[in-house]
């Protein structure tokens, strides 16, 4: 008799290794010898990896089964047990399992084709499209990649696509806001550092280092707002607010471009970075097909309409209307 697969949420698979690990922690004091402890650790390790992965696979409906998701469950079990029980870190098959799973994930990702129009994507979108194939946790990868591009922007300007570039900072309070936050960070960190350094030297160094990193990060964020403008090319529209929001779409996908109407566009995705965002919004775009918008810290959204702030909205609408047959209101 064949058992019918029942739904088994991915989030529940995270809990199984945790529950087994907690059970081992409770039973560990009852072990009276090293042999019993090793046996208990081996059982927990096997259940948290192999058993949990098989349980996830066979209780997930066939259309929803994904090999990379099952592999992610297995690797999380390895990580949880290895962190909870240092004694298992020297188990040879555990190391081989981790290396083998990593190689398998890498090779499987490299065999997946890049999306259509990959060469025309924005640099951030290209990085996401390439590296997302190689990992079972795309959002974590995107967080790392966006920070890499942010820090790199301190030393070199990004390569912009060909076309007309439109700034997004004139009339906005984003620059003044970032300057104020940077000033407050510096003014807060120095007095606290001198208060801590006499009695808590290590804590003072950590506090000063974290504040220094935060200050430089704010400078890099502000620079990205300047060096990554909105671009209208011959075939593609690149929507960027620094690295906070990034999206691109074919110009032919733009169904309507018009001045912003606060009453009509109240629920539209706002791509402007400003404390007073509603007064500075001046353009609303509507797309025929939904567009994927990448946000800070690996966040992604799909939307059919966006609002943004441009230094010269009339020139932008004229340039966009000159590239394609669409509804443009001025």
Task: Give the whole-angstrom CA distance, residue 226 versus residue 175.
Answer: 10
3-state SS, residue 195? helix
3-state SS, residue 88? helix
The enclosing H or E element of 216 equals: helix 201-227
Task: Give the whole-angstrom CA distance, residue 305 versus residue 312.
Answer: 20
Selection from 131, 142, 151, 72 nearest residue 104 by Cα:
72
Count CB neighbours of 122 within 10 A.
21
pTM: 0.67
Q: What is the dihedral of CA 167, 173, 178, 180, to 10 degrees?
A: 150
Q: Which residue has the tokens 């974290």?
A: 210
3-state SS, residue 134? helix
What count of Cα atoms within 13 Å lies in the side-chain half-sphere of residue 250? 9
Instruction: Note whether 230 and 166 are within 8 A (CB).
Output: yes
Pairing, β 269-270 against β 245-250: unpaired
Strand partners, 19: none
The model's pLDDT over 171-220, given as tens digits with 9 standing for 90+, comes to: 666 666 777 778 888 888 878 877 777 788 788 888 888 888 888 888 88
pLDDT in tens, the chain (330 residues): 444 444 445 555 556 656 666 666 666 666 667 777 667 777 777 777 777 777 777 777 777 777 767 777 777 777 777 776 666 666 656 667 777 777 877 887 788 888 888 888 888 888 888 888 887 778 888 888 888 888 888 888 888 888 888 888 776 666 667 777 788 888 888 788 777 777 887 888 888 888 888 888 888 888 888 888 899 988 899 998 888 889 999 988 888 888 888 888 888 888 887 655 556 788 899 999 999 999 888 888 888 999 888 888 888 888 887 555 555 555
Task: Give the whole-angstrom CA distance, residue 182 versus residue 309.
Answer: 23
């Amino acid at each position: 008799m064949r058992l019918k697969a029942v739904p088994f949420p991915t989030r529940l698979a995270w809990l199984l290794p945790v529950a087994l690990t907690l059970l081992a922690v409770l039973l560990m004091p009852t072990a009276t010898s090293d042999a019993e402890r090793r046996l208990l650790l081996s059982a927990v390790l096997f259940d948290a990896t192999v058993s949990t992965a098989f349980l996830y696979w066979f209780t997930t409906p066939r259309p929803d089964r994904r090999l990379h998701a099952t592999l992610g469950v297995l690797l999380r079990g390895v990580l949880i047990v290895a962190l909870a029980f240092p004694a298992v870190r020297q188990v040879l098959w555990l190391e081989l399992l981790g290396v083998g799973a990593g190689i398998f994930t890498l090779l499987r990702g490299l065999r997946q084709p890049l999306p259509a129009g990959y060469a025309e994507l924005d640099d951030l979108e290209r990085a996401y499209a390439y590296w997302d194939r190689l990992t079972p946790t795309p959002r974590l990868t995107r967080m790392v990649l966006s920070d890499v591009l942010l820090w790199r922007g301190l030393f070199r300007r990004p390569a912009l696509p060909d076309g007309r570039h439109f700034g997004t900072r004139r009339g906005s309070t984003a620059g003044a806001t970032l300057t104020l936050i940077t000033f407050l960070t510096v003014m807060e960190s120095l007095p606290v550092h001198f208060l801590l350094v006499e009695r808590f030297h290590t804590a003072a160094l950590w506090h000063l280092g974290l504040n220094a990193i935060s200050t430089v990060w704010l400078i890099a964020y502000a620079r990205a707002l300047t060096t990554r403008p909105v671009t209208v090319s011959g075939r593609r529209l690149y929507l960027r607010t620094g690295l906070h929001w990034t999206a691109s779409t074919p110009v032919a996908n733009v169904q309507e471009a018009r001045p912003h109407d606060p009453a009509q566009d109240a629920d539209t995705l706002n791509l402007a970075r400003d404390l007073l965002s509603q007064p500075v919004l001046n353009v609303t775009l509507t797309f025929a097909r939904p567009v994927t918008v990448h946000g800070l810290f690996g966040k992604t959204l799909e939307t059919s309409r966006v609002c943004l702030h441009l230094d010269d909205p009339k020139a932008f609408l004229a340039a966009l209307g000159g590239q394609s047959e669409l509804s443009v209101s001025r």
